[in-house]
Amino acid sequence: MDHTVKAFDNDIGRLRGLISQMGGLAEEAIANAIKALQRSDLELARKVREDDKAIDLIEAEVERLAVRTIALRAPMANDLREVVAALKIASVVERIGDYAKNIAKRVPMLESEDRIEPISILPAMAKIASAMVHDVLDAFAARDAEAAIRVRDSDTALDDFYDSIFRTLVTHMVENPKTIGQVAHLLFIAKNLERIGDHATNVAEMVYFAATGTQMGERDRSGTLPS
C-alpha cells in the first residue's frame, strides 16, 4: 500500500511539474508575441509560432501520464479530482499557447502599417492576462482554492481593459478610415488576450473544484463571491 501511495504521489508531482512547465512556456509566448508586435520583430514572431510545438508535446505527455495514473493507481475522490483537473488544465494551457501564436501570426500583417497610438495599450492588457495564467497555475500547484477565486475575480479588470481598448480602436478607426485594416488586426489581438483571461478563469474553476470538491460560486456584480 505504501508503495502504491508513493507511486501515486510521484505521478501527481510529475503532472504538476509538466503543467508548470507548460504554463511557463505559455507565459513566455504571450510576452514574446506582444514584444514582437511592439518591435515589428518578424523573427521573434516566428519563434513564438515554432515554440508552440513544445507546449503541444507537453500536453500529450500530460495526457499519457494522467490516463496511465488513473488506470494503474485507481485514485479515489480527492486524488482522482486532481488527476482529472491536471488533464483538463493541460488542454486549456495548450489553447492559451494557441492564442499567443495567433497574436504572433498578426505581426507580419502589421509590419508595413504606420503605427497607430492605441497599439501602446496592448502590452498592459497582455501583462494582466499573463499574470492570471501565472497565478492560476500557482494556485493549482498549491491546491489553493482562495487563490483560484482571486484569479477568477481579476478577470473583471481584463474584461474592462478589453472594453476600453475596443472603444478606443473603433473611435480611432472612425476618425482615421485609412487605419481600418490595422485596427481590425489590433482588435483581433485584444480579443485573443481577453480569451486568455477567460481560459485562466476556467482553470481557476477547475482548481477550486479539485481542491474543495464543490463548484465555485457565481461572482456577484461587485466582483466578489456572494455570502
CATH number, domain with residue 96: 1.20.58.220
Residue 127 banded pLDDT, cuts 50, 70, 90: very high
Please enumerate in sequence order all residues whose Cβ is within 8 A of that of 6, keeping only pairs 6 or more positions apart, or say none: none
Distance between alpha carbon 181 and the CA centroid of its chain, in Å?
Answer: 27
Q: In angstroms, rounded to a whole number, what is the distance separating the alpha carbons of residues 92 and 113?
A: 33
CB 189 within 8 A of CB 110: no
pLDDT at 32: 97
Please count the structural domains in the chain: 1
**Does residue 218 belong to any structural domain of this protein?**
no
Domain presence at residue 72: yes
The amino acid at residue 204 is: A
How far is 165 from 167, CA to CA, in rounded Å? Answer: 5
Q: What is the dihedral sign for C-alpha 160, 161, 162, 168?
A: positive
Domain interval for residue 68: 1-212
Inside any domain, residue 35: yes
Q: Which parts of the chain fold into alpha helices (H)?
A: 2-39, 42-73, 77-110, 122-142, 145-175, 180-212
Residue 18 lies in a domain: yes
pTM: 0.88
State pLDDT tens for residues 34-59: 999 989 999 999 999 999 999 999 99
Residues 50-89: tens digit of each pLDDT: 999 999 999 999 999 999 998 988 878 788 888 999 999 9
The rounded distance, in Å, linking the Cα atoms of 95 and 119 is: 24
In the block, which residue shows the cell 507580419?
108
Greater confidence (212 vs 221) lies with: 212
Residue 14 lies in a domain: yes
In a domain, 151, yes or no: yes
